[in-house]
Structure 1
Amino acid sequence: MKILAIADVEQSWLTTGFDPERLRGVNMIISCGDLPARYLEHVVTMANLPLLYVPGNHDTAYRSHAPEGCDSIDGRIREVAGVRIMGFGGSMRYNERVYGFTEQEMRRRVMRLAFQAKLTGGVDIVVTHAPPYGYGDMDDYAHTGFDAFNTAIEILRPAYLVHGHIHMEYGRIDRVIEHPAGTRIVNACGSYMFDL
Structure 2
Amino acid sequence: MKILVIADEESRSLWDYYTPDKLKDIDLILSCGDLKPEYLSFLVTMAHCPLLYIYGNHDGIYERKEPEGCICIENQIYEYKGIRILGLGGSCWYNGGSHQYTQKEMKRRVQKMWLKMRQKKGFDILLTHAPTKGINDEESAAHQGFEVFKELLEKYSPKYHLHGHVHLNYGRKPRVTKYKNTVIINGYESYIFTYEE
Unaligned runs of 5+ in 2: none
Q: Quick one: distance in 2 between partners of 1:118 and 1:153?
A: 15
Deviation at 1:55, TM superposition (A): 0.8
1:44-193 correspondence runs (5 A):
44-180=44-180, 182-193=181-192
The aligned counterpart of 2:24 is 24
Q: Quick one: distance in 2 between partners of 1:97 and 1:120?
A: 32
Deviation at 1:112, TM superposition (A): 2.6
Deviation at 1:114, TM superposition (A): 4.4
Give the AA of the match of 2:183.
R
**Are the equivalent residues in 2 in contact too, given 1:93–1:102 (CA < 8 A)?**
yes
**Are the equivalent residues in 2 in contact too, given 1:4–1:192 (CA < 8 A)?**
yes
**Are the equivalent residues in 1 in contact too, given 2:176–2:183 (CA < 8 A)?**
yes
**Are the equivalent residues in 1 in contact too, given 2:26–2:47 (CA < 8 A)?**
no
Q: String of CA shifts for 1:146-166, please: whole Å, max 9, x gaps.
A: 011111111211100000000
SS in 2 for 1:6: strand
User: What value does the CA root-mean-square deviation take over the aligned residues?
Assistant: 1.2
* TM-score (normalised: structure 2): 0.95
Give the AA of the match of 1:184.
V
- Residues 77, 179 of structure 1: alpha-carbon distance in 2 compared, 3 angstrom cutoff: same
**Are the equivalent residues in 1 in contact too, given 2:24–2:47 (CA < 8 A)?**
no
Q: Quick one: distance in 2 between partners of 1:17 and 1:189?
A: 18
* TM-score (normalised: structure 1): 0.95
Q: String of CA shifts for 1:46-83, please: whole Å, max 9, x gaps.
A: 11210000110000111111111000011111111111
The aligned counterpart of 1:194 is 193
SS in 2 for 1:4: strand
Deviation at 1:115, TM superposition (A): 4.6
Deviation at 1:121, TM superposition (A): 2.4
Aligned length: 195
Q: String of CA shifts for 1:65-109, please: whole Å, max 9, x gaps.
A: 111100001111111111110101100111122320010010111
- Residues 60, 187 of structure 1: alpha-carbon distance in 2 compared, 3 angstrom cutoff: same
**Are the equivalent residues in 2 in contact too, given 1:114–1:156 (CA < 8 A)?**
no
SS in 1 for 2:18: coil
**Are the equivalent residues in 1 in contact too, given 2:10–2:35 (CA < 8 A)?**
yes
The aligned counterpart of 1:43 is 43
Give the AA of the match of 1:165.
H
Unaligned runs of 5+ in 1: none
Deviation at 1:120, TM superposition (A): 2.0
Q: Quick one: distance in 2 between partners of 1:118 and 1:134?
A: 26
Q: Quick one: distance in 2 between partners of 1:115 and 1:135?
A: 27
SS in 2 for 1:29: strand
**Are the equivalent residues in 1 in contact too, given 2:92–2:103 (CA < 8 A)?**
yes
